[in-house]
Amino acid sequence: MESSRVAGASVFRPRTGVWFTGAAVLVALGGLASVVATEGPAGLLHAWPLLGVAYAGWWLFWYPAVEVAEDAVTVRNPLTTVRVPWSALIDVDTKYALQLVTPSGAFTAWAAPAPGVWGTHAGKPEHVTNLPSTSYGPGGSIRPGDLKNTDSGYAAYLVRSRWQDLVEAGAVDVDSPARVHRTWNAAQIIGAVVLVAGAAVAGIGS
């Protein structure tokens, strides 16, 4: 997993995201090169499926993210983006993936799935110590999805750490929870539709 700083916010993406995105782009570029070599530049008119492969890699593996800012947590999934103000956050769960629980529902992060068997067994003592207090259950127990070496665990660590700091500083008004905003990613969805339509037309014309 990895996180970066953008305008004061921590942006989390799974480490595998860059590899899957890169693989998709390389497959597309290799296919485009092959098309040009065999059919010439005119063959690019029928290369919509290859563009779709690159776009799908970006859309599914790089675009999704969890952004932790001073005023809210934003979960960016392929189809929707959800902005959860800190005052609307009730709980952070990691049973199946990072999930933000609010009065208006629970919202799951595509970018932060819980670990499988390998991820769980790769945990070390440093991955379960010095976590935010809300990470621990009865007897100091934690879920596999809370291990800091996992996608769900590291994203949860970022969210819970910022949340705890703000609460302790008195910066979260829990008595007046702000509204959760959920929007469709219209531009990304339209882009996918255009590429699918282009591939269908190219298939008919070939």
Confidence class for position 179, pLDDT limits 50, 70, 90 = very high
Q: What is the pLDDT of residue 133?
A: 67
More confident residue, 77 or 132: 77
Which segments within the chain are labelled E, that is strand? Answer: 2-6, 9-13, 65-68, 72-76, 80-85, 91-93, 97-102, 105-113, 181-184
Asked if residues 114 and 145 have their Cβ atoms less than 8 Å apart, the reply is yes
Instruction: In whole angstroms, give the CA distance from residue 100 to residue 90.
Output: 8
Q: Using one digit for the tens of pLDDT, what is the confidence trace for 55-108?
A: 999 999 999 999 999 999 999 999 999 999 999 999 999 999 999 999 999 999
Contacts of 178 (CB under 8 A, 6+ apart): 85, 87, 88
Q: How confident is the model at residue 111, as a pLDDT?
A: 96
The label of the residue with tokens 């014309």 reads 205
Q: How far is CA 56 from the centre of its chain?
A: 14
- pLDDT confidence of residue 139: 63
Q: Which two tokens stand for residue 109?
A: 């992060």
